[in-house]
Structure 1
């Protein structure tokens, strides 16, 4: 996809495994969020991903898919594919293994692909459990992962993922300090304006997901207003 995604400061993440009605989708799409990211860790299939795409595609808003694995990749009718590689796991399937399988068995439109270097920091989260991420690490460790992703591997996105819980701003700040080229994404526990503003000052882009389902669209709108 083109580089317009580098201007996004607020992304709303919707989970294909969760139910959301059309009225809520309409409110989200007109909330001022910069893009919709369709993403989930558990029970994501081609079928429910395509159903969610159908729900959101009518709005004038960028829609991207962030797959948990090759089975969840959908490229039709979306603007881009943000593909995670988890850096802080000893299980190389989540760094490169599933990616190799995907490429081996599919013809890839690389113009739509944006690689993400994921640093997963909530051991209780689904993504933490599934990937076996080592989450009990220091801010210095996180910064080192971020610098490796940015300077050595040249990932365009470094994504600090606390997934369902609000993270430590000092950890995010440590990563931000060492990144010079990549965009720093932060996701996890942002459900009000104060948290959005705090992480928005540190990261280039905040990602809000669970708040949509747990706290409603009004909470999402407050997070949008805080960073725009």
Structure 2
């Protein structure tokens, strides 16, 4: 695995600029011991709500990265940037189209040393991201492994993100996906709402991303940090 700016991340919290979080909750998230905060969302992301959330997080020492899902939410000042490429969609705009548009407008300003492509494989049909991108979520194991190998070996992407968003995935399948990786870092996100699930995910993937539970049960979200670190 390449030694890049995100290579040491085991646990990550993901915050949505379009969702409210109190100063008290944000303080607990940023001082929890998590390795990083990723800012990003599938809808409702604007320059204003992204820069506001970034400014609040930047008061803390924790790494803070932006997942650039729209031109409207492209904000300078983050420690790093992820550019998602949705691999299991037939709509080219979500693979290279929007990314090319972004580079036409902002390519001269991209901090390339702190920018990484994410090969997204969305596996929950009910997720907003799946609906927006029209992702083919019902993949067989063979199809999933083929997508992973394409991202890892043909496209040489630094990050592969298995996104179940709102549903806990098949950890045996995630483990098999990780075993197919030769150099990419495998991120897993989806349905982690207690320490046991966090521990299982940490045993299956390189990096565990915890998101939705932050907004419904902060205590449960915070408990996932130690579970991942001790897995």
Q: TM-score, normalised to structure 1's length? A: 0.96
- Corresponding residue for residue 35 of structure 1: 36
Q: How far does the alpha carbon of each residue in 1:142-191 deviate from its partner, in whole angstroms, 9 at most, with x for none? A: 11101110011110000000011111112212211100100000000001
Separation (CA, whole Å) in 1 of partners of 2:130 and 2:9: 26
- Corresponding residue for residue 84 of structure 1: 84
Separation (CA, whole Å) in 1 of partners of 2:67 and 2:188: 15
Aligned with 1:194 (options 187, 193, 196): 196
Matched, 1:207 2:215: no
Question: 1:222: how far off?
Answer: 1.3
Aligned with 2:154 (options 116, 128, 152): 152
- Corresponding residue for residue 101 of structure 2: 101
- Say which SS state the counterpart of residue 20 (structure 2) adopts: coil
CA contact (8 A) 2:5 2:114 kept: no
Question: 1:113: how far off?
Answer: 0.8
Separation (CA, whole Å) in 1 of partners of 2:185 and 2:167: 21
Separation (CA, whole Å) in 1 of partners of 2:96 and 2:73: 16
- Corresponding residue for residue 48 of structure 2: 47
- Say which SS state the counterpart of residue 76 (structure 2) adopts: coil
CA contact (8 A) 2:172 2:204 kept: no
Aligned residue pair count: 225
Q: How far does the alpha carbon of each residue in 1:91-131 deviate from its partner, in whole angstroms, 9 at most, with x for none? A: 01110000100011112221221110000011111000000
Q: Which runs of 4+ in 1 moved over 6 A?
A: none
Runs of 5+ unmatched residues, structure 1: none
Question: 1:220: how far off?
Answer: 1.7
- Corresponding residue for residue 64 of structure 1: 65
Aligned residues: CA RMSD: 1.0
Within-5 A mapping of 1:14-25: 14-25=15-26
Q: TM-score, normalised to structure 2's length? A: 0.95
CA contact (8 A) 1:32 1:221 kept: no
Separation (CA, whole Å) in 2 of partners of 1:156 and 1:164: 24
- Say which SS state the counterpart of residue 6 (structure 2) adopts: helix
Question: 1:132: how far off?
Answer: 0.5
CA contact (8 A) 2:192 2:213 kept: yes
